[in-house]
Amino acid sequence: MLDVLHELETTALAELDAQSGSDALEEWRISYLGTKGKLRAVMPLMKSVPPDQKPAVGKRLNEVKTTLETAFREKKDAVADTAEAGPAIDVTEPGFPCGVGRRHVLSRTIDEIVEVFARMGFSVAYGPEVEDEWHNFNALNIPPDHPAREPTDNFYMPGARLLRTQTSTVQIRTMEATQPPLKIIAVGRVYRPDTHDATHFSMFHQVEGLYVDRRVTMVDLKTALFQFARAYFGPGAEVRMRPSFFPFTEPSAEVDMKMKVKGRYQWVELGGCGMVDPNVFEAVGYDPEEWTGYAFGLGIERIAMRKYGIADIRWLYENDARFLRQF
């Protein structure tokens, strides 16, 4: 009986070692450990074992059963790990071609705008997107009761803070830290709870310009904006300025450009501009009797739309690869 058990164990382990798939392993389990398997088939032979040998034979039978069950579990785990790992990698085979990435059309537009203004003598300044009311409103001559401070027009946060509504906040921070003359542009994201449509979005990018020196005039402002438009869009760019009002500039104007919207050309506002209000200079410690300056803020999305013929601002944020691959 002991010889039968030894032969059964040896054969079973050899066959188990040769198995490589889960189906084959299950067939082996049924063949050897099932209710009608070979191990169960030798149990009736215990009747013919002499009484004095039954303890040793019974012990050996349990050992064989435990050995086969343990070996089966280990083999099953090994096959499962191999299946999860997937096929072996042949490092000699050629690799799959990888797609070449490219800059987003907005990042590309920002780089182009910065490059044009750099040729005009502007340096780049940056500031935080989460602002306090002093930099976003007070220093920009926006009084506490002004409609621009309403919660419906701003994303307020705890602690009297908010997401900045314009990059003019960077102008204030720069003037607080720098003595004139200065000539900067500020580029970054701004946030306003606007209803989304073809030309409006609740998050967008601005390029804000500021030039402070002695005897700066509205003519300098108009010249800078028209030079930018024609340098960036070409000599045929159609731009206009029309009177407007902003608390932080006086006089003020809107800057419009003709662009195609929904298949037809129309005037679209790019931003606002004007001469820096004396109250803003006083807020940052500049003497308005000595210094004058102009400021402007332009929407980068609308510049990109005009430059690349994009009809809907929402397309810039949908992450549709078919759209983005065009640029």
97 within a domain of the structure (yes/no): no
Q: Residues 293, 188: one domain?
A: yes
95 within a domain of the structure (yes/no): no
Helix 54-85, helix 2-18: angle, nearest 10: 0
219 within a domain of the structure (yes/no): yes
Q: Residues 66, 115: one domain?
A: no
Residue that is last in its domain, among 26, 52, 85: 85
What are 105-164's pLDDT values in tens digits? 999 999 999 999 999 999 999 999 999 999 999 999 999 999 999 999 999 999 889 999
Q: Residues 76, 111: one domain?
A: no
What are 155-206's pLDDT values in tens digits? 999 988 999 999 999 999 999 999 999 999 999 999 999 999 988 899 999 9
Residue that is last in its domain, among 85, 119, 136: 85
Contact 186, 297 (CB under 8 A): no
The three-state (H, E, C) secondary structure of the chain, written as one string:
CHHHHHHHHHHHHHHHHHCCCHHHHHHHHHHHHCCCCHHHHCHHHHHHCCHHHHHHHHHHHHHHHHHHHHHHHHHHHHHHHHHHHCCCCCCCCCCCCCCCCCCCHHHHHHHHHHHHHHHCCCEEECCCCEEEHHHHCHHHCCCCCCHHHCHHHCCEECCCEEECCCCHHHHHHHHHHCCCCEEEEEEEEEECCCCCCCCCCCEEEEEEEEEEECCCCHHHHHHHHHHHHHHHHCCCCCEEEEEEEECCEEEEEEEEEEEEECCEEEEEEEEEEEEECHHHHHHCCCCCCCCEEEEEEEEHHHHHHHHHCCCCHHHHHCCCHHHHCCC
Q: Residues 8, 134: one domain?
A: no
Is 90 exceeded by the pLDDT of residue 315? yes
96 within a domain of the structure (yes/no): no
Q: Residues 63, 130: one domain?
A: no
Q: Which domain holds residue 278?
A: 105-324
Is 60 exceeded by the pLDDT of residue 65? yes
Q: Can you read off the two tokens belonging to residue 253? A: 């104007």
Give 316's pLDDT tier (boundaries 50, 70, 90): very high
| pLDDT at 81 (0 to 100) | 65
| pLDDT at 88 (0 to 100) | 66
Q: Residues 59, 145: one domain?
A: no
Q: Residues 134, 244: one domain?
A: yes
Q: Residues 76, 185: one domain?
A: no
263 within a domain of the structure (yes/no): yes
Q: Residues 131, 252: one domain?
A: yes
303 within a domain of the structure (yes/no): yes
253 within a domain of the structure (yes/no): yes
| pLDDT at 27 (0 to 100) | 85
- Compute the distance between CA of residue 284 and CA of residue 126 in angstroms, rounded to an integer: 17
Q: Residues 62, 211: one domain?
A: no
Q: Residues 310, 241: one domain?
A: yes
* Strands, sheet with 130-132, edge to edge from the N-terminal-most edge strand: 130-132, 161-163, 156-157
Residue that is last in its domain, among 27, 56, 85: 85
| Number of domain units in the chain | 2
94 within a domain of the structure (yes/no): no
Q: Residues 116, 77: one domain?
A: no
Terminus-to-terminus CA distance in the chain, angstroms?
A: 82
CATH code of the domain covering residue 180: 3.30.930.10
